[in-house]
A = this chain, B = another copy of it.
């Protein structure tokens, strides 16, 4: 595997672009191939075996495109399919749950950790297990927030309805007096301000995107696969043919997306 090969990153849709943005900031030399499975989005409310099938499709596509590493930049897919993807590929595979859990566990001495995510992610118990292994004495409470993904996708990041629903979802975590909150969905960094307002300034908010970028850097370095210089521009693929990915994706990436290539999976 050549160090000049791109990093492959996939998500069910645009959410994983928050991970792309973090990787770009930390590793500007790396070329990225991104796939958004927009024809089958969302994964969060679908069952583990359906998500596993889709995640394997997506990961194999990235390998066919020459990826030297695959990042499962979707919490639901990381929860249901990380083992399956690792078993199916020969290149290194990084999910978003372990880096986020490590950051939460190492960040000061958290004793009361809240995790928010999709129905699939929270029900899988993946964060709960990862945190229990890393910081056994911590109290961990999970909360599914199914409407936050569509609200973020619609750009309602500063809307009264978003504040209302966020306050309602987070009420049990506030009542449980959490000191740390893990954003267990790649869509949630867009709602960070509203979430911070609800939980208050004493609660540390863990955005796993940065943690994932650091895990990518560590692993590429360990494998001597860090790119010496940029070999190619980033490429963006989507399984839907529409303009929506380009239009909505810019907000998640933080810069406009010029061109999206279509692929049937």
Contact = CB atoms under 8 A, between A and B. Distances in A.
Nearest to A264: B53
A77 to B, nearest CB: 14
Contact of A242 (B40, B46, B153, B239): B46
Main secondary structure of the interface of A (DSSP, over half): loop
Interface in A161-207: 161, 164-165
A239 B156 CA distance: 30
**Stoichiometry (number of copies):** 2
Give the size category of A's interface with B. Answer: 20 to 34
A156 B150 CA distance: 14
A240 B151 contact: no
A145 to B, nearest CB: 10
A160 B150 contact: no
A240 B50 contact: yes
Interface in A7-59: 38-40, 45-47, 49-50
Contacts of A160: 164
